[in-house]
C-alpha cells in the first residue's frame, strides 16, 4: 500500500515571499508498485535561516563506501526499489510543475544525501531527462535552448565522494560537483538551486535525541537502540520531536536555496500510524542489530549499549 503524506510544517505566506513547490513521495510497501503524491508549497521571506549551532550539528556517519561486497553500492537494491516505484511519478511531476526560464543557459540540481553507487546515477539521469523534456515542452519556442546542467552531489563529509565521482557515467549530460555537508543547515547560496531531490535520506536524523541518552529522563532508552511507538512511547515521542525539529531546519534552509518556481522532490519511507513499529521491516532489522550489539557490549562495558541509539526515524502517516 502506498500512502499520501501531508506536509509537517506550514509556513505563513506574505506578499513578498518566494514560493517553491515541494513534491513529497511516500511509500510504505513496494509490492503494489503504486505511488501517490502530494504537492504543496513552502515559502521564504528571505530571512529564514538556522542558527550556528544547527548549521554545524551533524552526525559523523555515512554509508559504506567503495564497490566491494559490503559496500552500499552493492547492497542498496531495497532503496532502488523505492526509486523505481516513484520514477514515473517523479518524471511526470517535474514536467508538469517545474517552472523554467526558457532563455536560461544553466540549470542546477542538488541531490541531497546522495551516498554512492548506481542508485545515485539512475536518479540523476531520470531527473536530467525530465528537465530536458520540460524545457522542450515550453510553449512559444520552436527550438528551445538546452541549458547546461550541473548536479551537486551532497552527503556528509564522510561519504565516499571519490568512488562516486570516479564511477560517474562517461556519457552523462551534466557537470558533477561534490558538495559535502549536513543538509540540516545551509549548503548553497541563496536562490541558486532549481531542483532539489532527496531519496531515503531525511529519515536519518541530525543526531540522537538528547532525552533518550539521559539517564534522568523518562525517555532514557536503556537496553535498546531504537524506539517503539507502543512499548517505548516516551522514546518514540523524543524521536518524533527530533524529526520535526530537523525537518523545520531542512525546509527553511531549502526555502532559501531553491529559486522561486523551483521544485523539491522528497522520496520518503513511511508507515501508517496504526501499525506498531515492532511489526515493521525496519524495526525488525534494527532489533536484530541491537541484539548483536548487546552481545558485543557485554564483552566491553555494560554502559556502552545504553549510550548508542540509532539515529533513524520512519515517518508516520
Alpha carbons 38 and 34: distance in angstroms, whole number: 14
pLDDT digits (tens, 9 = 90+) for 246-292: 999 999 999 999 999 899 999 987 777 766 666 666 666 777 777 77
User: Residue 301 contacts by C-beta under 8 Å, 6 or more apart in sequence?
Assistant: none
In a domain, 147, yes or no: yes
Cell output for 69: 561486497
In a domain, 237, yes or no: no
In a domain, 191, yes or no: yes
In a domain, 215, yes or no: no
Beta bridge partners, 195, equal 109, 263
The CA-based angle 173-178-181, given to 5 degrees, is 145
pLDDT digits (tens, 9 = 90+) for 85-116: 899 999 999 999 999 888 888 999 999 999 99
Say what the pTM is: 0.76
In a domain, 25, yes or no: yes
pLDDT band at 241 (very low <50, low <70, confident <90, very high): very high
Higher pLDDT, 48 or 135: 135
**Does the pLDDT of residue 11 top 60, yes or no?**
no
**What's the pLDDT score for residue 8?**
32
How many domains in the chain? Answer: 1
Give me the half-sphere count of Cα atoms (radius 13 Å) on the Cβ side of residue 167: 17
In a domain, 36, yes or no: yes
Residue 214, Cβ neighbours under 10 Å: how many? Answer: 13
Domain residues for the domain of 141 are 18-47+61-207+257-278
In a domain, 113, yes or no: yes
In a domain, 66, yes or no: yes
Q: Minimal CA–CA distance to 88: which of 36, 51, 43?
A: 36
User: Taking residues 80-89, what's their average pLDDT?
Assistant: 89
- Burial (CB count <10 Å: 0-12, 13-18, 19+), residue 143: exposed
CATH code of the domain covering residue 94? 3.40.50.150
Amino acid at each position: 500500500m502506498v500512502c499520501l503524506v501531508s506536509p509537517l510544517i506550514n509556513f505563513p505566506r506574505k506578499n513578498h515571499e518566494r514560493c517553491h513547490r515541494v513534491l513529497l513521495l511516500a511509500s510504505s510497501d513496494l509490492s503494489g508498485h503504486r505511488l501517490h503524491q502530494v504537492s504543496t508549497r513552502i515559502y521564504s521571506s528571505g530571512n529564514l535561516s538556522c542558527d550556528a549551532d544547527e548549521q554545524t550539528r551533524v552526525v559523523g556517519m555515512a554509508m559504506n563506501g567503495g564497490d566491494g561486497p559490503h559496500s552500499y553500492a552493492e547492497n542498496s537494491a531495497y532503496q532502488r526499489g523505492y526509486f523505481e516505484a516513484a520514477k514515473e511519478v517523479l518524471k511526470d511531476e517535474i514536467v508538469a510543475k517545474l517552472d523554467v526560464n526558457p532563455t536560461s543557459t544553466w540549470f542546477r540540481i542538488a541531490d541531497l544525501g546522495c551516498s554512492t553507487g548506481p542508485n545515485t546515477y539512475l536518479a540523476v539521469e531520470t531527473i536530467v531527462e525530465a528537465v530536458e523534456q520540460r524545457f522542450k515542452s515550453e510553449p512559444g519556442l520552436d527550438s528551445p535552448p538546452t541549458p547546461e546542467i550541473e548536479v551537486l552531489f551532497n552527503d556528509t563529509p564522510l561519504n565516499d565522494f571519490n568512488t562516486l565521482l570516479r564511477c560517474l557515467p562517461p556519457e552523462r549530460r551534466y557537470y558533477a560537483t561534490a558538495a559535502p555537508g549536513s543538509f540540516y543547515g545551509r549548503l548553497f547560496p541563496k536562490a541558486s538551486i532549481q531542483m532539489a531531490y532527496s531519496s531515503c535520506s531525511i529519515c536519518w536524523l541530525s543526531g540522537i535525541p538528547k532525552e533518550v541518552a539521559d539517564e534522568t529522563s523518562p525517555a532514557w532508552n536503556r537496553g535498546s537502540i531504537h524506539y517503539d511507538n507502543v512499548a517505548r512511547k516516551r522514546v518514540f515521542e523524543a524521536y518524533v520531536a527530533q524529526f520535526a525539529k530537523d525537518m523545520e531546519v531542512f525546509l527553511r534552509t531549502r526555502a532559501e536555496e531553491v529559486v522561486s518556481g523551483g521544485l523539491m522532490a522528497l522520496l520518503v519511507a513511511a508507515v501508517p500510524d496504526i501499525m506498531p513499529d515492532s511489526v515493521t521491516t525496519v524495526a525488525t532489522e534494527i532489533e536484530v542489530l541491537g541484539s548483536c550489539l548487546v552481545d558485543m557490549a557485554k564483552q566491553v562495558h555494560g554502559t556502552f549499549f545504553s549510550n548508542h541509539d540509532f539515529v533513524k526515524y520512519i515517518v508516520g502517516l
